[in-house]
Amino acid sequence: MGTGKRGLIAVAVTVVCAVTVLAVPGTAFAAPSPTPTPSATSNAASDATSKVEPSKDLEAVREKLDKLYHAASVATDAYNAAEEKAEKQSAEIVELAKKIVKGQERLAELKDRAGAAARAQYRTGGLPDEARLMLSDDPQEFLDGTGRVLQGQRATKGLIAELTRTQQDLEQYAKDASAQWQELEANRQAKATAQKKIEKQIAAAEKLESQLEKEEKERLAELEEQAAHQAQTAWLDSGILAEINGKASAQGKKAVKYATAQIGKPYEWGAEGPQSYDCSGLTSQAWADAGHGIPRTSQEQWKQLKHVDIKDMRPGDLIIYFDDASHVAMYVGDGAIIHAPRPGRTVTLAGAGTMPILGVVRPDA
C-alpha cells in the first residue's frame, strides 16, 4: 500500500503543479483538434512562392489567392477547435486537482479517526467479555458498555469502508487527470501544427500579392469585386430573396446589432474580439453577446446547430460556406451578410450569395 500511496501522491503533486502552470496569466499553449486536410490547396503555397512573370494571368492569381486563403481558413478552424478543447481540458484538470487535494485531506482525517479507534479498542479489549463481566462491580454498567463497544465496532467498520472508498476515488481522480493531461498535450501539438499551416498559407499569399505592381493590385481588386458581384447576382436572380421574409427573434436582433458594430475591425485568425475577429470568432461572440452560447468554430456550428432551409432564414441565422464548412457569416436581411472575410480584410457587409453556400443554421432554434 505504501507504493500505491506514493504513486497517488506523486500524481496529485503533478496535477497541482499543472494547476499552477495553467493559472499563470499569459501562458500560451499550442494545440488544435481535428486537422482537416486541405483538398487542392496542398501545393498552392509552394506554387505561390515562384516569381510572378510580367505576362501573368491576374485571374489565375486571384484563383490561387482564393485557394491559399481557403487553406488558411481550414487550418484556422482546426486551430480554434483545438484551442477550445484545450481550454476545456485545462478546466477539467483544475477541478480534478481540487478533488485530489480535498480527497487527500479527507483521507488524512479518516486515518486519524481510524487510529484513534484502534487505540481505544486496544486499551479496552485486553480481557475477554466473560472475565470483564465477572470482575465488574455493576453488571448493568458492563452490559451498557458492551452495547457501546458494539456500536463502536460498527462505526469502525463504517470508517474503514469510507477510507477504502476515499482511496479508490483518489486513484480514479489521478487516472482521470493523467488522461486529461495526455489529451491536452496532444491538442497542444495539433494546435501548433495548425498554426504553422496558417502562417505558411498566409505568408505565401502575401508574397504572391507583394509581387504585383500597383496597377495589377488595383486590377486584382476589381476582379475580386466582379467575381463577388456575379455570384451575388446569380444568387438573387434565382428568385430566392422573394421567398426569404423571416423576422429576427429578440436574440437574433441583438446578435445582428453586435455584428454590425464590429464592421471595419480587422480580420485576425484565432481572434474573438473585441479588437479583431476571424469568421467564427465574430459569429460566436455576437451570439454570446445576445445571451446564447454557440460552438466556437464554423464546422462545429454546422454540426451542432439546427439546420434551416435558405428560404426560411431570418436575420441572426448563420450561413455556412464551402463544402468543408470552413467559413461562416451572419445573415442580416435583404440578401446581405456581415462576416470577417480573410487576412488583410476587415469585418464587412457583403452579399449572401458571394460564396458557395453549404447551408444555414439557427443558433436560437
Whether 279 is a known active-site residue: answer: yes
Q: Which of 17, 229, 307, 339 is catalytic?
A: 339
Listing DSSP states for 112-174 in one string gives: HHHHHHHHHHHHH-SS-HHHHHHH-S-HHHHHHHHHHHHHHHHHHHHHHHHHHHHHHHHHHHH
Whether 229 is a known active-site residue: answer: no
The 3-state DSSP class for residue 198 equals helix
CB of 259 closer than 8 Å to CB of 340: no
Residue 300: how many CB atoms within 10 A of its CB?
19
The 3-state DSSP class for residue 211 equals coil
Q: Which of 229, 292, 307, 327 is catalytic?
A: 327
Cell readout for 103 is: 480527497
Whether 339 is a known active-site residue: answer: yes
CA distance 198 to 342: 12
Task: Give the full edge-to-edge strand order of the sheet including 336-339.
Answer: 306-308, 357-362, 318-321, 327-333, 336-339, 348-351
CB of 156 closer than 8 Å to CB of 82: no
Please measure the distance between the N-terminal and C-terminal CA atoms of the chain and give it in whole angstroms: 55
Q: Which of 229, 279, 292, 307 is catalytic?
A: 279
Residues 130-140 as b/e (b if ≥16 CB within 10 A, e otherwise) read eeeeeeeeeee
CA distance 305 to 157: 52
CA distance 83 to 31: 6
Q: Which residues are annotated as catalytic?
A: 279, 327, 339
